[in-house]
Chains A and B, each alone.
Chain A
Amino acid sequence: MSARDLLTLLLLAGSVALLAVAAEFLEVRLFVRIVTNLFIMLVLVLGLQVFMGNSGILSFAHVGFMGVGAYTTAVLTIPVRMKGMALPDLYPLVAGLELSPLAGILIGGLVAALVAAVIAYPLMRLSDAAAVITLFALLVVLHTIMLHWSAVTNGPRTLFGLPRATDLRLAAVAAALAVALALLFKESRIGLLLRSSRDDEVAAAALGARVPVLRWQAFVLAAFMAGIGGALWAHFITSFSPKAFYLKESFVILAMLVIGGPGTVTGAVAGTYIVTLAFESLRALEAYLNRAQIFAEQVVGLTEVVLALAMIGVLVLRPGGLVATREIGTWLLRRKPDKGDPP
């Protein structure tokens, strides 16, 4: 790692640590909750950045893998005496199993990566619109399976009984590790080759880059991070239904990445911070309006409307997002032009 990458890592991980410490000290329940959720989103958004930022392909399937991680850890960690109620039709092989949440989270990530590795290998040959539609189709397939595989997911109903294991510290550590992983991947040989294929697929292939294999590697890593993020979220929220892993969640994660800038890790982190701030304020406003009963009907969807407008605005004005190309370390250590330099 060069000095500027180290500086980027230090600053981004430092911002995570700073937020975590601030939340610990303030001890306001709501703030701790928001920051923990923010760290989990950070893992998910950085996972998407690994694939989308480096390969340039929009992936809707990401949230599907988040669901795979969440349901995997649920099946493995729900206490045995709860399983009879929560998942009555679970296969006997796993019904007696009760792992620690940490193990469940890790296995959740690995299972998501495994599923991605098997399914995605043939898909990575596709580019542009064909790739986007197949990944969208993959999300629908994963969602349909989650919705109807009652034995494992409790069908469309809410699955409950997960131990509450994700606290502020665990989420902060995971977020910092995700930052490091995304940066390391971006500066690795694979990341560099993949970005060359993003900028010009034909030229990169002509120089010997095996584009489908490169994309596949990034996709599997992204799915691993999505699985970890989903499992962390599952142990944070403790009860959820398949609805949580569909278009609405996709939209929020995508908004964070796109507004920040998919091309850089700094952008992904900044976007997550900004959108979380906006999201929580708007949600508070919505709740306030509903409590005060200013309008006859419940106010729903205001948050999404504003986010969608912001997303379109950013893409029109700055297509690369707020931080398009240069990581923060690179930007800080840029060489100032000397007076003696030729113009």
Chain B
Amino acid sequence: MTAAIQFVIDVLSLGGAYALMALGLVIVYGILRLVNFAYGELIMAAGYTLYLVSASPLPWLVMAVLAVGAAVVTGIATDYVAFRPVRAKSVTAVLITSFAFSTLLQNAAQLLISPRPRSIPLPEVFSDTVTLFGVVTPARNLITIAAAAVLLSLFTLAMRRTVLGIAMRAAATHFTMARMLGVPANLVISTAFAISGLLAGTVALLWLGRIGTVVPRVGLEPLLIAFIATVIGGMRSLEGAVLGGFLLAFIDTALNYSLPQDLLKFRDAFTFSLVILILLWRPAGLVRGPATGQRT
């Protein structure tokens, strides 16, 4: 019984983080049909902000807000630097500029800060453990579950009830039509990048809280996770991204519990082969998004 509870907590906390990562990627993809290869660097930006302000006497919560803010700013900067100038020209061009922007940020961090890991400040709670139904679990797992639940419900509410949310969903369904009806394209896209940064910044706090340090290539793993989760769940659907995140966490945790050690190191190869198979079987993912519209 305790093993089962342990498993559920692991899946939910990992899945919450994965779902937030995937959602941050898919919110941009849904509107623009363009993959943001610089997504992982939003997490890196939040991490380095935490490191840079760690010497100040500010309370941790203020530092965390600053870090999330840095991720939001980096997200909007991605839009202005890598997406807006080439958006209308070609799909490949945007993929390459976002990949170039990602390399740019990573190497800038190497150049200006250090290629070696830097430790980030964490509040006491992150290293505590709590006992729940007879299971000892790190408190940060429960924090992750709570944060994911709060953010996901806030996000759903915003997308359904606010004017901007409705405009964004309209833009994701049919961009050209939404523009004709007066939805301002640049505002919607910039908002999508800002939300993407907000989610990535929050994930950064939870994700880096597990590791305790930040390095220039810290963003690669979350980017890969977000890729897999969105592809499994559905590239065009927000619900699909969340579902994909939890499903991937379930697969990962199950493999962790069951696979022997020498096969476990090939886990990435297994999961990525799975992605390729799913894309071949259902190019649109498990959950189909709104009917295909035109990209700008």
A contact set with B: CB distance below 8 Å: 52, 56-58, 122-123, 125-126, 128-130, 132-134, 136-138, 140-141, 144-145, 148, 247, 251, 254-255, 258, 262, 297-302, 304-305, 307-309, 311-312, 315-316, 319
User: Are the C-beta atoms of B110 and A300 separated by less than 8 Å?
Assistant: yes
Residues of B within 8 A of A (CB): 29, 33-35, 81-82, 85-86, 89-93, 95-97, 99-101, 103-104, 106-111, 114-115, 216, 220, 224, 227-228, 231, 235, 265-266, 268-269, 272-273, 275-276, 279-280, 283
Partner of B96, one of A123, A133, A258, A300: A258
Min Cβ gap A218→B in Å is 15
B98 to chain A, nearest CB (A): 9
Contacts A133-B231, A140-B272, A305-B107; A315 near B97 (Cβ below 8 A) = yes
Q: In the complex, A313→B92 CA distance in Å?
A: 15
Q: Could you tell me the dominant secondary structure of chain A's interface residues?
A: helix
Q: A136-B227, A312-B100, A319-B89 are in contact. Are A130 and B114 (CB under 8 A)?
A: no
On chain B, the residues within 8 Å of A304 by CB distance are 103-104, 106-107
Q: Are B91 and A123 in contact (CB under 8 A)?
A: no
Closest A residue to B113 by CB, please name it: A297
Given the complex of chains A and B, what is the CA–CA distance between A305 and B50 in angstroms? 23
Known contacts A134-B276, A140-B272; is-contact A58 B115 (Cβ 8 Å): no
Assembly CA distance A129 to B37 (angstroms): 11
Determine whether the beta carbon of A319 is less than 8 Å from that of B99.
no
CB of B104 within 8 A of CB of A123, answer no
Question: Nearest-CB distance from A343 to chain B (Å)?
Answer: 30
Bound form: Cα–Cα A316–B88 in Å? 11
Within the assembled complex, what's the spacing in Å between the Cα atoms of A299 and B224?
Answer: 28
Distance in angstroms from A257 CB to nearest chain B CB is: 9
Bound-state CA distance A136–B36 (Å) is: 13
By the criterion CB–CB under 8 Å, are A58 and B96 in contact? yes
**Top 10 A-B pairs, shortest CB-CB distance:** A301-B107, A308-B104, A301-B110, A304-B107, A144-B269, A316-B85, A311-B100, A137-B272, A308-B100, A301-B111
Known: A145-B269, A300-B115. A137 touches B101 (CB 8 A): no
Question: How far is the CB of B157 from the nearest CB of chain A, in Å?
Answer: 29
Number of inter-chain CB pairs below 8 Å: 128
User: Is B92's CB under 8 angstroms from A144's CB?
Assistant: no
Q: Which residues of A contact B82 (CB under 8 A)?
A: 312
Q: Are B268 and A140 in contact (CB under 8 A)?
A: yes
Select A319's contact among B90, B95, B111, B227, beta carbons within 8 Å.
Answer: B90
Taking the nearest CB of chain A, how far is it from the CB of B30, in angstroms? 11
How far is B103's CA from A305's CA once the two chains are assembled, in angstroms? Answer: 7
Q: How far is the CA of A59 from the CA of B269 in the complex (A)?
A: 18
* Docked-complex contact B86 and A316, CB < 8 angstroms: yes
B276–A254 CB distance below 8 A: no
Cα distance A262–B90 when bound, in Å?
13
In the bound complex, what is the Cα–Cα distance between A285 and B93 (angstroms)? 30
- The answer to whether B279 touches A134, judged by C-beta atoms less than 8 angstroms apart, is yes
| Minimal beta-carbon separation of A197 from chain B (angstroms) | 14
Residues of chain B within 8 A of A297, CB atoms compared: 114
Q: Which of B35, B95, B109, B231 has the most CB of A within 10 A?
A: B95
Q: Are B266 and A148 in contact (CB under 8 A)?
A: yes
Query: In the assembled complex, how far is the CB of residue A107 from the closest CB belonging to chain B, in whole angstroms?
Result: 24
Q: How far is the CA of A270 from the CA of B110 in the complex (A)?
A: 29
Known A315-B86, A319-B86; contact A56-B107, beta-carbon cutoff 8 A? no
Roughly how many angstroms separate A126 CA and B280 CA in the complex, as a whole number? Answer: 8
- Asked if A126 and B283 make an inter-chain contact with CB atoms under 8 angstroms apart, the answer reads yes
Contact of B34 among A129, A130, A134, A136 (CB under 8 A): A129
CB distance from A188 to the nearest CB of B (A): 22
Q: Contacts A129-B33, A304-B103 hold; do A312 and B81 have CB atoms under 8 A apart?
A: yes
